[in-house]
Structures are given as C-alpha cells and as structure tokens.
Amino acid sequence: MKVNLSKKKILVTGGAGFIGSNLCEELLNKKNKVVCFDNFATGKRENIEEFLEDPNFVLIEGDIRKLEDCLKATKNIDYVLHQAALGSVPRSIKDPITSNDVNVGGFLNMLVASRDNGVKRFVFAASSSTYGDSESMPKTEGIIGKPLSPYAITKYVNELYADIFSQTYGLETIGLRYFNVFGKKQDPNGAYAAVIPKFVSQLMNGESPVINGDGNYSRDFTYIDNVIQANLLSLVTSNEKAINTVYNVAYGDRNTLNDLMIYLKEYLSDFDSKISNIEVIYGPNRLGDIPHSHASVDKARENLNYNPQFNLQKGLKKAVQWYWRNL
C-alpha cells in the first residue's frame, strides 16, 4: 500500500531498535529527512549502519530520560515517531523502576519537548499489553482490563499522558497498540528476546525451542510491514476523527504458539531439512503473560485506511529468509 509522505523532517526515537530502524529505512526511501535518537541500551548500531552515509539521516545519541536531550532531538522537527522504550514484560517484573523511568519519565520528557518545540504530531508505540486481564475477543480499543505487569502499566500511562497533552496543550497524538511485532532486524539474543527470532535462532542451531505452557496461548502476530504502514498513515491523516486516539496495529487474526512452531519448522526446512525433526520442549507458563490476544483492526481501517497486507504465514516466509541470511 502506497502512502505519500516526503520532504518532512521526522524524529524516530529508538531509531536503532527493531521497529525504529525499519521506520527509518522506509522514511529515507520516501526522501524524508530522518533524525534517529537512541542511547543504544537495546538498539544496535548495525541496524542503522547503512543509513549513516545518507545525507538525509542524522544520528543523535542521547537518552529520553534527559529532558535536554529530548529538546535537542525535537528541534525543527515536523513529526515524532516515538518508539524508544524498554520492552519486555519479564524485564519490567525484574526491574520495574528502570522500566518506569524510561517508559513513563522518558515518554513525558518527549511530550514536553515536542510541545515546547512545536512538533506537529506525536505518534507513539503503545502496546497490546494494555488489555491486561480483559477476556473480550477480539480486542477493541475501548475495552481494556487490569494490567498484568509493570510494563503494561507504563504503556497505559503513556496513553493517558498523550490524551492529556492533546486536550491541554493541543499537541496532536496518535497511539498505536502493537500486537507481537516480528520481522527483519529483530534481535534473537538475550534474556528478553521476542519469541519468533528466538525460536528461529534455536531451530537454525539444531536446538529444541522451549514453549511456555502447553502452546495453546494465542497471539495476533504482526509483520513489521503492517506496522510501518500504520505509522505512515498516522503521520499523513488529515481526518480529525483519526487523531488524539489509539489504534490496534495487528493483522486481526489468531495463531497459537503451536501453530507458529509448525510454520517455522516448515519454512526453515526449505533451507535445512533436518529442522523438521527437531522436538519442541514445553515449560511452565510465564508470569505476566496474557493467555490470548486477537485484535480488531476495524477502527484503524475506518479512520486511517489501514489495510494490513501480511498475515502470519506471509510475514514469516519473508522474515525467515532474512534470518537465514543474517543470523
């Protein structure tokens, strides 16, 4: 899907991270000026290495926890795509203070800096974790439950702050509740790696992946290109109904972890037939995990013309090719 967006100056916080670096790439391809703001706590230099020679790309090393860094980064910026955060439910359970400092304190700094520097629109990464213990399916934006982790609290607080900054200061905001995003440049390593790259890496190494629980927990896995589309549409929309609100960003489908494993083994077996015989290990359920996640994307379709092109299988085929070449 084509989105016309060019010759703007756009700040991507967390621009060296998985989602941020994919956004930087697409914005540069569309001939925008891109400022990447990252402290490399979880972002990686290799994710943005290819952009450093581009005259339209500027890297600012800094920390969203420092207001002066945020003010510097937002100077002369048209739009902000705020992706910087400490992700991971388990990380927030282990260290809630740092998660809060970055995700709440840092978020507030970015809102203040955007307000003070006259940013036109602030689009931010929200999270499906906000749905908490709500059992309603599919998830619709207006019905949320009680948060199940410190991380979920921080992402909900982001939405509340954004709403207040819209109402009080007139800053245009759009929150995008991402559902289990995957794709190229997603890190398979470390204690808090996302499930898809972690499983891919283990299968490629001939190791048995460990699924938390019986594998029947389900997720609305969302390929990175769907997420890029939602961000670009959020920047260009002139529909007044579309701003100062939040949207689910997903495909609008449900797959269990067992389904995921079947697809991964099938697609990776094209590269190495032995992978199809690797056994899967089942472990205990993980603290703070939501059992099922399935998004309604009707609101984004209606207000933003969001039209996701990649279901899990189609996205996995592309992602697996990238992982095979790059891991």
Give me the catalytic one of 79, 131, 151, 217.
Answer: 151
Backbone angles phi, psi at 161, to 5 degrees: -65, -45
The proportion of the chain whose per-residue pLDDT surpasses 70, expressed as a percent, equals 99
Mean pLDDT of 162-174: 98
Amino acid at the residue 5:
L
Distance, in Å, from the CA atom of 106 to the CA atom of 53, rounded to the nearest integer, reads: 29
Contact 280, 261 (CB under 8 A): yes
Q: What sign results for the dihedral spanned by CA atoms 39, 40, 44, 50?
A: positive
Distance, in Å, from the CA atom of 156 to the CA atom of 107, rounded to the nearest integer, reads: 12
Distance, in Å, from the CA atom of 257 to the CA atom of 280, rounded to the nearest integer, reads: 11
Contact 258, 222 (CB under 8 A): no
What is the structure's pLDDT at 49? 98
Q: Which two tokens stand for residue 198?
A: 């972690």
Candidate CATH numbers 1.10.15.40, 2.160.10.10, 3.40.50.720, 3.30.9.30; the one for domain 9-182+224-252+295-310: 3.40.50.720
Residue found by looking up tokens 């507030």 in the block: 108
Distance, in Å, from the CA atom of 297 to the CA atom of 199, rounded to the nearest integer, reads: 27
> How far separated are the first and last CA of the chain, in Å rounded?
29
Mean pLDDT of 14-27: 98
Is it the case that residue 70 has pLDDT exceeding 80? yes
Alpha helices by DSSP H, listed for the chain, are 18-29, 45-48, 67-73, 89-94, 96-100, 106-116, 150-169, 195-204, 224-236, 257-269, 298-304, 312-326
Kindly report, residue by residue over 40-64, the tens digit of the pLDDT. Answer: 999 999 999 999 999 999 999 999 9
C-alpha distance from residue 69 to each of 14, 43, 113, 125, 163 (Å): 13, 17, 9, 20, 23
What is the structure's pLDDT at 231? 98
Q: Which two tokens stand for residue 228?
A: 């890029």
Is it the case that residue 192 has pLDDT exceeding 90? no
* 151 labelled catalytic: yes
Amino acid at the residue 216:
N
What is the structure's pLDDT at 225? 98
Tell me the β-bridge partners of 178.
127, 249
Amino acid at the residue 26:
E
Contact 43, 17 (CB under 8 A): yes
DSSP state of 101: I
Backbone angles phi, psi at 249, to 5 degrees: -120, 105
Distance, in Å, from the CA atom of 12 to the CA atom of 83, rounded to the nearest integer, reads: 7
Distance, in Å, from the CA atom of 1 to the CA atom of 262, rounded to the nearest integer, reads: 29
- Cβ burial of 34 (10 Å; 0-12, 13-18, 19+) is buried
Domain boundaries of the chain, sorted by first residue: 9-182+224-252+295-310
Is it the case that residue 1 has pLDDT exceeding 70? no
What is the structure's pLDDT at 6? 83
Contact 71, 113 (CB under 8 A): yes
Amino acid at the residue 28:
L
How many angstroms separate the most distant Cα atoms in the chain? 59
Kindly report, residue by residue over 229-258, the tens digit of the pLDDT. Answer: 999 999 999 999 999 999 999 999 999 999
